[in-house]
Amino acid sequence: MVDSNDMTLRERLKDSKRIVVKIGTSSLTYDNGHINMFRIGHLSRVLCDLVNQGREVILVSSGAIGIGVDKLKLGKKPDYVSGRQAAAAVGQCMLMNIYSQFFAEYGHNVAQILLTKDVVERPESKENVINTFNELIKMSVVPIVNENDTVSVDEIKFGDNDYLSYIVASLVDADALIILTDIDGFYDKNPSSHNDAVLYHNIVDLSEKIETAAGGAGSNLGTGGMLTKVHACRLAADRGINSVIANGEKPEIIYDIIAGEDVGTMFVGKR
Ligand code: ADP
């Protein structure tokens, strides 16, 4: 059976010490394109609290292009590469400024890590990145990771931050990967177009067949949609990392996830 009701699977999330959280653009911005400060504030508070609990937290945050588009009052994502890269440069700066201020309110530090695929493919730079992550975590700093949109061309792109979140989870050898989005989890059909879509609770073995239920992005600023999230979780499961796709509307849902509650869709890491 693909979707398991075995709640003991959720118990496995309880001991998660090193946690990678990914939040998507659709959770960081309102439908009108403006920044959702309330959401970012709540997320920052929860992540700081997790660090206070003695957990190790890494955030993969999208939003740079969307926030840049809003700040520059462009109306929509530019349809040419340099326009998007310029928007990302402006937006990334603003995004980090916002995170930095919220985390400072709770007495914590953040660090910016911008990656491209070539960096983690070259053994030497890969090792440097891993060492930097570990050093920051040792200092109780929360690394905030994004694709280096400003310099990335197709050849060195991760392509989407869901995949990037898997890469980060595997680089730091995370216990759990939590992907927060604008929907309750992974359904057997796209709920935006099917009223009868049913949520998967615990996926033990992800077959190609159910992966095809995952469709593209629901919002005009979102990029990967469910497909890239499910793909990232499948890769994480293969590496033995437990992951959960859940609704980021209330970032406090992270507490429920690591308490082993039945929220979102869990992809059980292979043992
Ligand atoms: P984010 O910005 O968080 O990365 P996206 O908008 O890219 O989020 O992706 C989430 C969207 O994927 C949902 O809002 C939904 O419209 C769409 N989607 C497509 N297929 C599915 C599915 N099978 N289950 C859940 N959501 C799906």
For the chain, the structural domain boundaries read 3-267
Contact 224 CB / ligand 1 (< 6 Å): yes
Probe residue for ligand 1, chosen from 192, 203, 211, 247 as the CB with the greatest number of ligand atoms within 8 Å: 192
- For residue 159 the two structure tokens come to 């392509």
Per-residue pLDDT of the chain (271 residues; tens, 9 = 90+): 467 777 789 999 998 999 999 999 999 999 999 999 999 999 999 999 999 999 999 999 999 999 999 999 999 999 999 999 999 999 999 999 999 999 999 999 999 999 999 999 999 999 999 999 999 999 999 999 999 988 877 877 888 999 999 999 999 999 999 999 999 999 999 998 899 999 999 999 877 667 777 765 554 444 568 999 999 999 999 999 999 999 999 999 999 999 999 999 999 999 8
Give, using CA atoms, the residue closest to atom 15 of ligand 1: 218
Given this model, what pLDDT does residue 9 score? Answer: 93
pLDDT of residue 218: 54
33 CB-near residues (< 8 Å, 6+ apart): 66, 69, 70, 221
Nearest atom in ligand 1 to 229's CA: 4
Q: Which CATH number fits domain 3-267: 3.30.70.360, 3.40.50.150, 3.40.1160.10, 1.20.1740.10?
A: 3.40.1160.10
Q: Quick one: pLDDT at residue 121?
A: 95
Residues for the chain: how many in total? Answer: 271
Atom of ligand 1 nearest to the CA of 181: 3
Looking from the CA of residue 160, the nearest atom of ligand 1 is 4
Indicate which atom in ligand 1 lies nearest the CA of residue 192: 16
**Quick check: pTM over 0.85?**
yes
- Count the Cβ atoms, other than its own, within 10 Å of residue 71: 16
Residue 210 CA to residue 227 CA, distance in Å, equals 10
* Cα 28 to averaged position of ligand 1 atoms, centre (Å): 14
Q: Please tell me if the CB atom of residue 23 comes closer than 6 angstroms to any atom of ligand 1.
A: no
